[in-house]
Structure 1
């Protein structure tokens, strides 16, 4: 039996996933006209990946968000070539995407000490420029972080807020209106054997998110670095506003699947669990022979998910995904009573442990093939 009582939560408040910074390479040094030598080059600006850095820490340490490299030294009789100015390194989290002001990705920094040159220092003063120093390159850079977590909650606005609070005892901002979560809410579940699983409630998707509507790409980008997805739907369905159509739980799942497919098909290959929240429906029973209303709707949803093709005629063709998501488990819960929460924690743990085993098997298989290949070539 997997121990799954939550002992500790580490809450990351005021999470920042995008930061705009100003960079300027150092000016070069002036040359020495009499002997035709050159001044030192200005220092360069580098963005460097650091495992233990967050954008919030970067912003707190450099509140002005302005990075300036050192200027090159002038040449002189005792040193006919001036020394280069000091480079400036901007420490950024691993997993960061470095973009220019037009949104073009310059490079992703996916491991410790990955680096990219973002602003060059000026060239040293030489004869052909009258020995005068040149200014360094100025550039505005956006650091865009894709959250790397074990579990990413996927749902329409407000779907995961109370669930994250229940699963990890996190203190999240909840409300009855859409887009309460404007940035990822992060928490950690620690199990009795000290295993830790990170969970992120990501800003709610809406129909058209793949086209950057609503939170759009700001939501979807974070799913790329999650190990497992957790679809969260309400058994009573969802309606964004009075002017948008009401969607049943099944329709919600189909539309979320389509949004993932249109944004990046690879997301559909991630291991996925389905959480069905029963919070908003009273457990009404008409008479002793009837099933409670919640159970009827849950039975109906299960039937639809078992044979989704039988119900796709209810959708417009453009709303139907090419491939349905295959859920490893469907877990009904109640975020009000807490029913099903412990089972959910156990399922999350078992699914990730199984994924670890598969990844280890693949790694050892590759190692064995490499050894065999080396032996045959020698």
Structure 2
């Protein structure tokens, strides 16, 4: 099983073009045959292709050099050299390629089968057959092949999902994902159980589905590098809706209203448009609050606008979960909840 890796540094190099050939036809009874040097073959290109069956960049840690084949030199008798073989590199959907030195985004792969030429192979040089003129019938000039392109690149993986789960550690995000899908994230009663993103698919009517992503918990100061969650916030950049999971029980490490403020503050500091995305709030662990005192106190402590986004649930007993999923479905497809 491959470990999850969401960044990788690679060296990408396309093939050099082959040089043209210097040759003159030598046949019986034609001692002064004309030039017949063939052209060099083009170098191979490096091509990235989106593959939905891959969900990690781990294989690049073992093969960080992506080198296409050089073109072969031209040959006598006007024979062109063989073209260098292209290097086809399969990458997971959501892969972003950046120039390692400048940080500039070169392109991103978001669709299955999407092919992007990362580094185009160098052109082959022309043989001396191309340089014969009326005054120079025996040219000794050929072209060298053009060099390939070399790029040091940073690959980043951004998981593509409809819904991104956010919340403090131990809020119950993984339990919720396991309750609504076939995903099997690690679940335990201690912070930072989730150490990598997980995807779950929630089947709906009419053969539709909702893809939900769970990332490590966010702590205060995450935008400044603390904790694990900030490393993976890039995975919810492409989501259409954020679902903030809050532990509203009296056993929570952080009071529910304060937990919501921390999450909102950190995603605002992270930027990238996260704070402007559609949002719903799952008030989790109501099974530990049978009289709902803690839940209603939470509603009183937050803004009225936020209170309208709250859905009380228990990921353990599934109480309130169907209503939450219906609300997510409506919000994703343009309906108000």
Supply the distance in 2 between the matched residues of 1:265 and 1:328 (Cα, whole angstroms): 25
Tell me whether 103-112 or 170-179 shows the greater mean CA deviation.
103-112
Partner secondary structure for residue 175 of structure 1:
coil
SS, match of residue 354 in structure 1: coil
Output the CA distance in 2 between the equivalents of 1:193 and 1:13: 34
CA separation of 1:130/1:77 partners in 2, compared to 1, >3 Å: closer, same or farther? Answer: closer
Corresponding residue number in structure 2 for 1:54:
54
Matched residues in 2 for 1:142 and 1:279: separation? 44
Match in the other structure for 2:69: 70
Partner of 1:374: none
Which residue in 2 is equivalent to 1:348?
328
1:251 is displaced (CA, Å) by 1.0
Give 1:68 shift.
3.0
Q: Mind listing any 5+ residue stretches in structure 2 that lack a counterpart?
A: 24-34, 129-140
Q: Distance in 2 between matches of 1:171 and 1:183?
A: 12
Q: Residue 246 of structure 2 corresponds to which residue in structure 1?
A: 233
Preserved contact between residue 197 and residue 214 of structure 2 (Cα < 8 Å): yes
Aligned residues: 311
Shift of 1:54: 2.6
Q: Please tell me the root mean square deviation across aligned C-alpha atoms, in Å.
A: 3.8
Change (3 A) 1:140 1:53: farther
* Structure-2 separation of matches of 1:66 and 1:298: 54
Partners of 1:336 and 1:113 in 2: CA distance: 39
Aligned match of 1:98: 97
CA gap 1:99/1:328 in 2 versus in 1, 3 angstroms: farther
- Which consecutive aligned stretches of 4+ in structure 1 deviate over 6 angstroms post-superposition? 58-63, 129-135
Q: Which 10-residue stretch deviates more, 106-115 or 328-337?
A: 106-115
Query: Counterparts in 2 of 1:119-268, with a 5 A limit?
Result: 119-121=119-121, 124=124, 136-159=148-171, 160-191=173-204, 193-236=206-249, 247-264=254-271, 266-268=273-275
1:88 alignment partner in structure 2: 87
Q: Which residue of structure 2 aligns with residue 40 of structure 1?
A: 41
Aligned counterpart, 1:300: 297
Distance across 1 between alignment mates of 2:22 and 2:182: 70
Larger radius of gyration: 2
Worse-superposed segment, 91-100 or 158-167: 91-100
Change in CA separation of 1:237 and 1:352 when aligned onto 2, cut-off 3 Å: farther
**Structure 1 counterpart SS, 2:43:** coil
Could you state the TM-score of these two structures normalised by the residue count of structure 1?
0.68
- Check the 8 A contact 2:247/2:285 in 1, yes or no: yes
> What is the TM-score when the length of structure 2 is the normalising length?
0.75
Q: CA deviation at 1:185?
A: 1.2
1:61 Cα deviation after fit: 11
Between stretches 20-29 and 147-156, larger displacement belongs to 20-29
SS in 2 for 1:225: coil
Q: Tell me: CA distance 1:345–1:30, structure 2 relative to 1, closer, same or farther (3 Å).
A: same
Whether contact under 8 Å (1:273, 1:327) holds in the other structure is no
